[in-house]
């Protein structure tokens, strides 16, 4: 016969075990296709496990109390006259505070690794508008010295994205980028607020009229992914999508050279 | 002397409209006004629910085929606005606040009965105005957030009507807030101390402070927005040098506290319902009070977590992450205290109790996704997606609306003197709980995998999960049928409840059911231990 406390330990470790198992075995996220994505998924996994432990634990407590302490037929009178317990109340103030603080610090670390705390910049020396104030976004190291253009300008309008490649002086309706290279997009809206979201990259940034924003990312997987507008922008908001095509460096160079303005062709 | 004269006047005026008709009159009786709020709110809930059904029907297929795209945007805008401003806010504050607060403080009415009636009578016309704008030139279609420049460039008449009606509803809310603060602080029966008040009073005090501090900011913002629309000013219009992000700061300075305006009173109501049906004192009264006030203070400094993908600098993102996540601490305290209240009780498992337990489970889930959303890197991926839609429905429907139903089952005998049918009540709970979770739980996955919110068309890979969600919505729609049948049958020939069917100790139960116009025959009782269960007090 097990004692009461060993039952408790058994149930608690069971809840934690199940939460870890679900956290590691159930994948709720799409493909990882940028260097941000595995970092994001690591944070997601931790939050998912902590959340599961709390949710399963609380739900079990509620259901257990409902069944165990239900009023039986013919029973009269009240429950125990317990008005509080300072020790318990301190415990469930302090422990959640510590969890919340640790999660906050951890997510700060994640954000830093994603490049969120870096100075915002977008090297547009070719365009000569370096001094322009960038408003917001995520910037990674951006010390990319490739000859091929990886600084791309995005303009959003009702209900399309256009991608301007300044070094090739051409505009495309699809965003082509080379794999494993850091890409920097500077975005501005022509009319209302839009948003630039690539779920497989785990990144999003609003595109704001009058205030350019910047987003840096490094794709890691060749393929075609959707670019989705995530900010209500009018009747055709749901249809406002484009594609990002991540390709090998050589394929990208071919595409770029085919499209660039004739006078720029060597 | 003046007090005596006032009392006399109030009582004579209160007696004037009689019978059923008094609910359609400019009554000054806080109980009549409370019921007016509740029934009016419920009618708007049915409208908002119909609109929600239209949205879920549209989303059963990936194409935009059920209604035109601009109508879809009007429908989602009206759905959000109606559910927030005409259903949850007026009901958890106005309906239960007006009915219960005077009882709890031992008063015969609210501090300002005329202001109270004005506050209620602002609601039906502004609600009707909002709905009829759809039939005239199309309703607003920029979402309930009305972000410029979209709200400036969409058809103007609908947007202006939207602004006017939200301004009127905000005014109603401010009048109510002032009235509650005055009543709780100034109309307490002599001998009744603040720390002896039922918890709902504290919740309403905290909520009313938030209402009075933040609603005027929304009003000012919307007035500036209306200037941008009708007078071509450039406060938020980027073409004229305006700043669209400033609007978002001002809007969320109200609209985040608005979440607490919707859930704090619900927390208060649950704190009244649980001890009675568990036959136990409310666990940790003092920590409950401090956590309410903690939520009020923190609630005012977290607004920019709605703007992590807008133009916010990194340090600001960090500050709002920490501040937001810390709201989980006082909120968590309340949930642990409620479970501790149940622990060791003699729990009657009835509809009121089931809806309250459903609330605890749903809200814990919504709270956990809320802490996750507070983390900037997490939010950046799921912001403006169905993940967020799922999260806030867990808070406002799984939270507040479950509590509204729980409260209706709990206080129906007080208002009518009759009991609601328990079998229909439990059926109502089961349908709502299953339907709700079926509808909103899968939406978390949709958001994580790439479905943005407020869309009429989506990637076909999401069709199956959307259909599950719509099936849940169907359950929720059906769940209102047993509820309505229950209400109508019980009002007509429900079981007699007696004055105090739950053997409760809070002051509203220490009078007849339904209570007399002056609340108590004779002196108001002095209840210093509203949760004194467990010591054979009755």
The CATH architecture assigned to B32-509 reads Up-down Bundle (1.20)
What is the token pair recorded at B430? Answer: 């089961």
Span B404-421, average pLDDT: 96
Q: Is the pLDDT of residue B10 over 80?
A: no
Q: Shortest CA distance to B364 belongs to which of B337, B399, B393, B329?
A: B399
- pLDDT band at residue A160, thresholds of 50, 70 and 90? very high
B123 CA: distance to closest CA in chain A (Å): 28
- B207 vs A2, A116, A216, B106, B210, CA distance in Å? 48, 35, 42, 20, 5
Q: Is the pLDDT of residue B12 over 50?
A: no
- pLDDT band at residue B82, thresholds of 50, 70 and 90? very high
A214 CA: distance to closest CA in chain B (Å): 10
User: With contact defined as beta carbons under 8 Å apart, do A174 and A164 qualify?
Assistant: no
pLDDT digits (tens, 9 = 90+) for B163-181: 999 999 999 999 999 999 9
**Least confident span in A96-110, B432-446, B469-483:** A96-110
Q: Is the pLDDT of residue A172 over 50?
A: yes
Q: Do A79 and B456 touch (CB under 8 A)?
A: no
Confidence at residue A2, expressed as pLDDT on a 0 to 100 scale: 67
* Category of A163 on φ-ψ map: left (φ > 0), alpha (ψ -120 to 50) or beta: beta
Q: Is the pLDDT of residue B3 over 50?
A: no
What CA dihedral angle connects A142, A147, A151 and A155, to 10 degrees?
A: 180
Edge-to-edge strand list for the sheet holding A213-217: A137-138, A213-217, A183-189, A151-157, A160-165, A170-172
- A52 vs A58, A66, A96, B476, CA distance in Å? 10, 21, 15, 26
A228: helix, strand or coil: strand
- A69 vs A145, A235, B71, B341, B344, CA distance in Å? 69, 53, 51, 11, 6
User: With contact defined as beta carbons under 8 Å apart, do B169 and B254 qualify?
Assistant: no
Q: What is the mean pLDDT of chain A?
A: 86
The runs of H, that is alpha helices, within chain A are: 4-25, 36-68, 86-113, 249-259
In terms of DSSP bridges, do strands A175-178 and A241-247 run parallel, antiparallel, or are they unpaired?
Answer: parallel
* Category of B450 on φ-ψ map: left (φ > 0), alpha (ψ -120 to 50) or beta: left
Q: Is the pLDDT of residue B31 over 80?
A: yes
A208: chain B residues, CB-CB within 8 Å:
238, 244-245, 310-311
Confidence at residue B265, expressed as pLDDT on a 0 to 100 scale: 97
Confidence at residue A150, expressed as pLDDT on a 0 to 100 scale: 75
Confidence at residue A138, expressed as pLDDT on a 0 to 100 scale: 65
Q: What is the mean pLDDT of chain B?
A: 92
Q: Is the pLDDT of residue B424 over 80?
A: yes
B154: chain A residues, CB-CB within 8 Å:
234
Mutate to test the interface with A, among B331, B343, B452 (most CBs of A within 10 A): B452
Q: Is the pLDDT of residue B4 over 60?
A: no
Span B106-122, average pLDDT: 95
Q: Is the pLDDT of residue B138 over 80?
A: yes
- pLDDT band at residue B537, thresholds of 50, 70 and 90? very low
A238: chain B residues, CB-CB within 8 Å:
64, 69, 452, 454-458
Span A80-101, average pLDDT: 90
Q: What is the ipTM of this complex?
A: 0.91
- The residue with greater pLDDT, B356 or B538, is B356
Confidence at residue A129, expressed as pLDDT on a 0 to 100 scale: 44
Q: Do A104 and B336 touch (CB under 8 A)?
A: no
pLDDT digits (tens, 9 = 90+) for B206-224: 999 999 999 999 999 999 9
Q: Is the pLDDT of residue B20 over 70?
A: yes
**Least confident span in A141-145, B229-233, B259-263:** A141-145
The CATH architecture assigned to A136-265 reads Sandwich (2.60)
Confidence at residue B203, expressed as pLDDT on a 0 to 100 scale: 97
User: With contact defined as beta carbons under 8 Å apart, do B205 and B184 qualify?
Assistant: yes
- A237 vs A85, A91, A115, A156, B498, CA distance in Å? 53, 48, 29, 12, 56
- The residue with greater pLDDT, A182 or A51, is A51
Span B196-201, average pLDDT: 96
> Who's near A248: CB < 8 A, 6+ residues apart?
A178, A179, A222
Q: Is the pLDDT of residue B314 over 80?
A: no
> What percentage of chain B exceeds 90 in pLDDT?
85
Q: Is the pLDDT of residue B437 over 80?
A: yes
Residue spans of the domains in chain B: they are: 32-509
Confidence at residue A141, expressed as pLDDT on a 0 to 100 scale: 53
Span A145-162, average pLDDT: 80
Span A212-232, average pLDDT: 93
User: How far apart, in whole angstroms, are the C-alpha atoms of residue A198 and residue A200?
Assistant: 6
Q: Do A82 and B283 touch (CB under 8 A)?
A: yes
User: How far apart, in whole angstroms, are the C-alpha atoms of residue B92 and residue B168?
Assistant: 18
- The residue with greater pLDDT, B485 or A125, is B485
DSSP classification of residue A191: S
Mutate to test the interface with A, among B377, B402, B422, B529 (most CBs of A within 10 A): B377
């Amino acid at each position: 016969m097990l004692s009461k406390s060993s039952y408790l330990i058994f149930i608690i470790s069971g809840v934690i075990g199940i939460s870890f198992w679900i956290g590691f075995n159930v994948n709720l996220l799409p493909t990882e296709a940028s260097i941000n994505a595995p970092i994001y998924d690591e944070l997601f996994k931790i939050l998912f496990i902590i959340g599961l432990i709390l949710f399963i634990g609380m739900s079990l407590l509620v259901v257990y109390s409902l069944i165990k302490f239900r009023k039986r037929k013919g029973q009269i009178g009240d429950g125990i006259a317990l008005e509080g317990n300072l020790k318990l109340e301190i415990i469930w103030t302090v422990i959640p505070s510590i969890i919340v603080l640790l999660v906050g610090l951890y997510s700060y670390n994640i954000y830093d690794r994603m490049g969120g705390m870096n100075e915002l910049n977008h090297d547009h020396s070719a365009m000569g508008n370096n001094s322009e104030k960038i408003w917001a976004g995520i910037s990674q190291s951006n010390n990319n010295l490739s000859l091929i253009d990886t600084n791309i300008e995005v303009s959003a309008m009702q209900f399309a994205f256009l991608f301007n490649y300044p070094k090739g002086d051409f505009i495309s309706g699809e965003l082509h980028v080379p794999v494993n290279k850091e890409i920097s997009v500077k975005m501005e809206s022509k009319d209302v607020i839009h948003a630039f979201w690539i779920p497989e990259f785990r990144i999003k940034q609003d595109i704001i009229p009058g205030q350019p924003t910047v987003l840096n990312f490094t794709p890691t997987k060749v393929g075609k992914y959707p670019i989705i507008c995530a900010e209500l922008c009018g009747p055709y908001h749901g249809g406002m999508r484009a594609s990002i095509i991540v390709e090998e460096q050589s394929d990208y160079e071919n595409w770029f050279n085919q499209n660039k303005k004739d006078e720029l062709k060597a | 002397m003046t007090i005596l004269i006032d009392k006399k006047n109030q009582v004579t005026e209160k007696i004037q409209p009689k019978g059923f008709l008094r609910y359609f009159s400019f009554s000054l009786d806080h109980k009549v006004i409370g019921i007016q709020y509740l029934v009016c709110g419920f009618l708007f809930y049915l409208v908002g629910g119909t609109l929600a059904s239209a949205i879920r029907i549209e989303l059963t297929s990936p194409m935009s085929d059920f209604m035109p795209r601009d109508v879809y945007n009007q429908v989602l805008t009206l759905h959000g606005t109606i559910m927030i401003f005409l259903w949850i806010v007026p009901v958890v504050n106005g309906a239960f606040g007006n009915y219960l607060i005077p009882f709890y403080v031992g008063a015969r009415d609210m501090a300002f009965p005329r202001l109270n009636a004005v506050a209620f009578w602002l609601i039906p016309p502004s609600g009707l105005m909002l709905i009829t704008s759809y039939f005239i030139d199309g309703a607003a279609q920029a979402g309930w957030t009305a972000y410029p420049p979209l709200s400036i460039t969409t058809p103007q008449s609908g947007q202006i009507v939207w602004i006017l009606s939200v301004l009127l509803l905000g005014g109603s809310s401010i009048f109510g807030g002032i009235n509650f603060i005055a009543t709780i602080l100034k109309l307490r029966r002599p001998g009744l101390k603040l720390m002896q008040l039922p918890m709902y009073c504290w919740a309403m005090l905290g909520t009313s402070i938030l209402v009075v501090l933040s609603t005027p900011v929304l009003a000012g913002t919307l007035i500036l927005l209306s200037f941008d629309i009708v007078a071509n000013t450039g406060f938020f219009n980027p073409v004229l040098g305006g700043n669209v992000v400033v609007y978002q700061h001002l809007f969320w300075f109200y609209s985040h506290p608005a979440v607490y305006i919707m859930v704090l009173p619900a927390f208060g109501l649950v704190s009244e319902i649980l001890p009675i049906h568990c036959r136990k004192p409310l666990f940790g009264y003092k920590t409950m009070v401090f956590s309410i006030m903690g939520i009020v203070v923190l609630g005012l400094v977290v607004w920019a977590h709605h703007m992590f993908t807008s133009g916010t600098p990194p340090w600001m993102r960090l500050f709002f992450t920490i501040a937001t996540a810390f709201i989980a601490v006082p909120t968590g305290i309340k949930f642990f205290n409620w479970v501790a209240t149940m622990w060791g009780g003699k729990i009657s498992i009835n509809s009121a109790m089931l809806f309250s337990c459903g609330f605890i489970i749903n809200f814990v889930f919504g709270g956990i996704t809320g802490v996750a959303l507070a983390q900037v890197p997490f939010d950046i991926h799921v912001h403006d997606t169905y993940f967020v839609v799922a999260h806030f429905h867990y808070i406002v429907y799984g939270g507040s609306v479950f509590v509204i139903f729980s409260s209706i089952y709990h206080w129906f005998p007080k208002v009518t003197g009759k009991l609601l049918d328990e079998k229909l009540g439990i059926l109502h709970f089961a349908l709502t709980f299953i339907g709700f979770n079926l509808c909103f739980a899968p939406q978390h996955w949709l958001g994580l995998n790439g479905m943005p919110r407020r869309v009429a068309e989506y990637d076909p890979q999401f069709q199956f999960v959307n259909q599950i969600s719509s099936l849940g919505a169907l359950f929720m729609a059906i769940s209102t049928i047993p509820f309505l049948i229950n209400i109508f049958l019980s009002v007509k020939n429900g079981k007699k409840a007696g004055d105090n069917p739950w053997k409760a100790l809070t002051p509203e139960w220490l009078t007849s059911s339904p209570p007399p116009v002056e609340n108590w025959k004779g002196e108001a009782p002095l209840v210093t231990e509203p949760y004194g269960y467990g010591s054979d007090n009755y």
